[in-house]
Amino acid sequence: MISSDFLAPKISYPLYEDLIRVLVFMTVGIVVAILSEEIQQKDIKLLESEEKFRSVADSAVDGIITTDTDGKIVLFNSSLKKIFGYEIDEIKDKNVTMLMPDRYKQNFLDKMERFKLTGNYELDGKTFETFGLKKDGTEFPFEISISTWGSKGNIYITSIIRDVTERKKIETQLENSLNEKETLLKEIHHRVKNNLMIISSLLGLQSDYIKDEESKTIFKESQSRARSMALIHERLYQSTDLKRIDFGDYIRTLANDLYHTYVIDASLIKLNVDIDDIKLDINTSIPLGLIINELVTNSLKHAFPPGESGEITIKFHTQEDTYHLQVKDNGIGFPKDIDYKNTDSLGLRLVTILTEQIDGKMELKNTSGTTFNIIFTEEKFEGN
């Protein structure tokens, strides 16, 4: 440019203007060079980032697939091809409904239409199980997690898919095994119940040959105890829960059996039952059932002199984690000179021992008859 000023003197531009232009061109060139370098570096970083993303996606065990709001597949990883049995050119740009059984397709398309209208995809952020359709036409169960995201004004849906075929097989095997064990356990309860009833019947038959009334009473009470335990195993055999029983129903049945065993004139003695519907573990049910058996039997045998009327009331309620049992009668009352915790009566000794077994507290009120109150908290047994 400096030389041109001498070679072309007719040009009216002064030399300093040419110098300015030179400086401008040089500055622009430097800026362009710097920007080009930065752009190149960003492109390299972007390519590296994309390669890393692709490597991570392709190394994932789960299938990853991204679609647009029309359901067109725009991205997928190697695991997805493996899971469904397709090649790249068989999946790319196809509609995702090709991976679904026919019964799910219309529902999916309806969801997409609502998504485009409302901008709210009802499955966004959710994980659930459904069925997929492989290339060979077989269906298989999979777990899918869905999320939506946006880029350059477009909305996309990315799903992570995990084939759970093997897990379902294991779950089925475990369920079958559990059903077999439940059947076996039910059979055990049934056999225990039958054996206890046989013992009860043998005690009853043996008592027929006993002349001593005191000895006969002992046999009769033992028979009643065996029956109370048999009743629990019968409830467990009939129940879908092999660890817990409806104890309210159990009390009603047990009390009714004892009433008809000991009460000769039903017009004189009235039985009241006020209980909640409570489920108890078998480890609590058996000792508590025996406690109720002893206390109710004691009231039926000793509370009312022959020919006198009266009432026996059984209450069983729960408040939070605490259980309250009350067996009450309005009879002649418990003898003042007898310590119920240190008596020769086998029944009351059993009540004391069994109350301690369930970590309960027992209280006797000897006014207007006899009232036994037992309060306990059910222990959390292993497996509950």
DSSP per position, 194-234: HHHHHHHHHHHHHHTT---HHHHHHHHHHHHHHHHHHHHHH
Q: How far apart are CA 88 and CA 77, in angstroms?
A: 9
Q: Which are the contacts of 85, defined by CB distance < 8 A and separation ≥ 6? A: 134, 135, 136
Q: Which of 33-42, 269-278, 310-319 has the lowest mean pLDDT?
A: 33-42
Query: What pLDDT score was predicted for residue 102?
Result: 94
Q: Is 8 helix (H, G, I), strand (E, B) or coil?
A: coil
**Phi and psi at residue 100, in whole multiples of 5°?**
-115, 145
Asked if pLDDT for residue 100 goes beyond 90, the answer is yes
Query: What pLDDT score was predicted for residue 8?
Result: 47
Query: What pLDDT score was predicted for residue 94?
Result: 92
Q: Give 292: exposed, middle or buried? Use CB within 10 Å, 0-12, 13-18, 19+.
A: buried
Angle between helices 213-238 and 346-357 (to 10 degrees): 30
pLDDT band, very low/low/confident/very high, at 138 (cuts 50, 70, 90): very high
Residue type, 303: A
Mean pLDDT of 356-366: 90
Query: What pLDDT score was predicted for residue 61?
Result: 79
Query: What pLDDT score was predicted for residue 84?
Result: 92
Query: What pLDDT score was predicted for residue 179?
Result: 75
Q: Give 7: exposed, middle or buried? Use CB within 10 Å, 0-12, 13-18, 19+.
A: exposed
Instruction: Read off the DSSP letter of residue 267.
Output: T
Q: Of 47-61, 129-143, 213-227, 341-355, which one has max mean pLDDT?
A: 129-143
Q: Which of 280, 279, 308, 299 is nearest to 347 (CA)?
A: 299
Intra-chain end-to-end CA distance of the chain, in Å: 96
Other Cβ atoms less than 10 A from the Cβ of 170: the count is 11
Q: Which of 310-319, 328-337, 356-365 has the lowest mean pLDDT?
A: 328-337
Q: Which of 256, 254, 205 is nearest to 233 (CA)?
A: 254
Mean pLDDT of 289-313: 89
Mean pLDDT of 293-309: 88
pLDDT band, very low/low/confident/very high, at 250 (cuts 50, 70, 90): confident
Query: What pLDDT score was predicted for residue 32?
Result: 67
pLDDT band, very low/low/confident/very high, at 281 (cuts 50, 70, 90): confident
| Position with higher pLDDT, 382 vs 375 | 375
User: For residues 23-59, b (16+ Cβ closer than 10 Å) or e, as one string?
Assistant: eeeeeeeeeeeeeeeeeeeeeeeeeeeeeeeeeebee
Q: Which are the contacts of 58, defined by CB distance < 8 A and separation ≥ 6? A: 77, 78, 79
Pairing of strands 310-319, 269-275: parallel
Residue type, 43: D
Mean pLDDT of 10-25: 62
- Is the distance from CB of 160 to CB of 64 less than 8 angstroms? yes
Which token pair is 268?
């004189």
Q: How far apart are CA 376 and CA 363, in angstroms?
A: 12
Q: Which of 6-10, 74-78, 140-144, 233-237 has the lowest mean pLDDT?
A: 6-10
Residue type, 293: N
How long, in residues, is the chain? 384
Q: Which of 174, 194, 182, 181 is nearest to 239 (CA)?
A: 182
**Mean pLDDT, the chain, integer:** 81
Asked if pLDDT for residue 116 goes beyond 90, the answer is no
Q: How far apart are CA 97 and CA 111, in angstroms?
A: 12
| Position with higher pLDDT, 112 vs 59 | 112
Angle between helices 282-302 and 346-357 (to 10 degrees): 150
Q: Which are the contacts of 335, defined by CB distance < 8 A and separation ≥ 6? A: none
Q: How far apart are CA 309 and CA 263, in angstroms?
A: 11
Asked if pLDDT for residue 24 goes beyond 80, the answer is no
Asked if pLDDT for residue 220 goes beyond 90, the answer is no
Query: What pLDDT score was predicted for residue 187?
Result: 75
